[in-house]
């Protein structure tokens, strides 16, 4: 359980990342790029990654939308930069499970700052806002340019 003080702290972190998103720019040397959108809320997200030898050497995003989608994208770029694509996929899986309210068991520690998004599960309409950047990242890692070209977005409604 999250006590109210911690909850306020998480809310501030989300507001801060939503207002001042980190790594919010195109990436000139990107070799994996994907677009995603969440029609339910109007959120758009483009993820740029520079993959090098199985590692995400650099990552950025561009996007418009609600504070949750922007904050989630911003936190994502910070969380996966320098990680292997394997670790990034694992983290995506955990994050998506967490915001959908599915058990992530003993893996909460691995989520680090991303735990701030845990409260999203209480707002079903916001779940797709939070997962959009992550689905878009997974599409980029899969070599797909459009995150909405598959069933990823559909299954998370
Ligand atoms: Zn949204």
The CATH number given to whatever domain includes residue 48 is 3.90.1010.10
* Residue 45 β-bridge partners: 36, 63
Residue 150 is predicted with a pLDDT of 54
Contact, 113 vs 78, CB < 8 A? yes
Residue 109 is predicted with a pLDDT of 87
Residue 17 lies in a domain: no
64: CA distance to ligand 1 center in Å? 9
Residue 149 is predicted with a pLDDT of 67
Residue 152 lies in a domain: no
- Residue 125: name the closest of 46, 47, 60, 68 by CA: 68
8: CA distance to ligand 1 center in Å? 20
Q: How many domains does the chain have?
A: 1
Q: Cβ contacts of residue 107 below 8 Å, gap of 6+? A: 94
Taking CA atoms, 44 is separated from 39, 54, 69, 150, in Å, by 8, 27, 8, 16
Residue 27 is predicted with a pLDDT of 97
Contact, 152 vs 128, CB < 8 A? no
5: CA distance to ligand 1 center in Å? 25
Residue 120 is predicted with a pLDDT of 93
Domain interval for residue 115: 22-141
38: CA distance to ligand 1 center in Å? 7
> What predicted TM-score, i.e. pTM, was given to this entire model?
0.91
Residue 147 lies in a domain: no
Residue 4 lies in a domain: no
35: CA distance to ligand 1 center in Å? 15
Q: What angle do CA 58, 46, 26 make, to 5 degrees?
A: 50
123: CA distance to ligand 1 center in Å? 11
Contact, 49 vs 137, CB < 8 A? yes
d(CA 35, CA 148): 8
Residue 65 lies in a domain: yes
Residue 99 lies in a domain: yes
d(CA 64, CA 82): 25
131: CA distance to ligand 1 center in Å? 10
Q: Residue-wise pLDDT tens for the chain (157 aa)?
A: 457 887 888 899 999 999 999 999 999 999 999 999 999 999 999 999 999 999 999 999 999 999 999 999 999 999 999 999 999 999 999 999 999 999 887 778 899 999 999 999 999 999 999 999 999 999 999 999 999 865 454 444 3
């Amino acid at each position: 359980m999250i006590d109210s003080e911690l909850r306020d702290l998480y809310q501030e972190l989300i507001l801060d990342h939503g207002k001042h998103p980190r790594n919010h720019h195109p990436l000139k040397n990107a070799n994996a790029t994907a677009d995603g959108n969440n029609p339910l809320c109007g959120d758009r997200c483009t993820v740029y990654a520079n993959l090098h030898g199985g590692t995400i050497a650099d990552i950025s995003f561009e996007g418009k939308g609600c504070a949750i989608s922007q904050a989630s994208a911003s936190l994502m770029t910070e969380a996966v930069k320098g990680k292997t694509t394997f670790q990034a996929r694992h983290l995506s899986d955990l994050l998506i499970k967490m915001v959908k309210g599915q058990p992530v068991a003993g893996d909460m520690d691995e989520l680090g700052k991303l735990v701030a998004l845990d409260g999203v599960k209480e707002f079903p309409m916001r779940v797709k806002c939070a997962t959009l950047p992550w689905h878009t990242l997974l599409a980029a890692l899969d070599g797909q340019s459009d995150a909405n070209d598959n069933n990823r977005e559909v299954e998370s409604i």
